[in-house]
């Protein structure tokens, strides 16, 4: 409420909308229902994008930068664990670190080994 009241157009909120939180599906834990409409009702300008698409990410951030008079919110639809097949969309990987062979498998999927 403060952001819209104060016309903070120099503020951009980005929501990493990966649909999972520690206890499960966000909609089941406590649904915020239609997040975009809810933010708009609070006076924000809202963009909804694919949070893994570079053109959409940069396009929305640049539009938000140019937008005047209202704070901006970017709802970025993402995949929890993105980039590692056995982690993607699995709530178990919210707060669990990979071990031994899991690290190797993940790094193999992500290309060459990390430096150094």
Partner 1 sequence: MALTAEEVQYLAEKALAVRRHIITMTGAAGSGHPGGSLSATDLLVALYFLIMRVDPQRPQWPDRDRLVLAKGHAAPALYAVLAERGYFPVEELLTLRRFGSRLQGHPDMKRLPGVEASTGSLGQGLSIANGMALAAKLDGKDWRVYALLGDGETEEGQVW
Residue numbers at the binding site for partner 1 (CB under 8 A): 1-3, 6, 8, 10-22, 26, 29-30, 32, 35, 42, 51-52, 54-55, 57-59, 61-62, 65, 71, 76, 78-84, 87, 90-91, 93-100, 102-103, 106-107, 110-111, 113-116
Q: Which is nearer to partner 1, 12 or 45 (CB)?
A: 12
Cβ atoms of residues 54 and 71 within 8 Å: no
In the complex, what is the shortest distance from the CB of residue 2 to partner 1, in angstroms, rounded to a whole number? 5
In the complex, what is the shortest distance from the CB of residue 45 to partner 1, in angstroms, rounded to a whole number? 14
Cβ atoms of residues 93 and 87 within 8 Å: yes
In the complex, what is the shortest distance from the CB of residue 12 to partner 1, in angstroms, rounded to a whole number? 5
In the complex, what is the shortest distance from the CB of residue 115 to partner 1, in angstroms, rounded to a whole number? 7
First-to-final CA distance of the chain:
46
Distance CA 108, CA 101 (A): 10
Q: Which is nearer to partner 1, 45 or 90 (CB)?
A: 90
Cβ atoms of residues 87 and 97 within 8 Å: no
């Amino acid at each position: 409420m403060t952001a819209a009241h104060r016309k903070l157009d120099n503020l951009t909120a980005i929501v990493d909308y990966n649909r999972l939180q520690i206890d499960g599906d966000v909609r089941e834990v406590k649904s915020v229902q239609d997040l975009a409409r809810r933010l708009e009702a609070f006076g924000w300008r809202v963009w909804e994008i694919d949070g893994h698409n570079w053109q959409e990410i940069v396009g929305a951030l640049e539009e938000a930068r140019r937008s005047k008079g209202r704070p901006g919110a970017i709802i970025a639809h993402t995949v929890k664990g993105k980039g590692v097949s056995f982690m993607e969309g699995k709530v178990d990987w919210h707060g669990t670190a990979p071990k031994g062979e899991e690290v190797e498998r993940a790094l193999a999927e992500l290309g060459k080994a990390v430096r150094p």
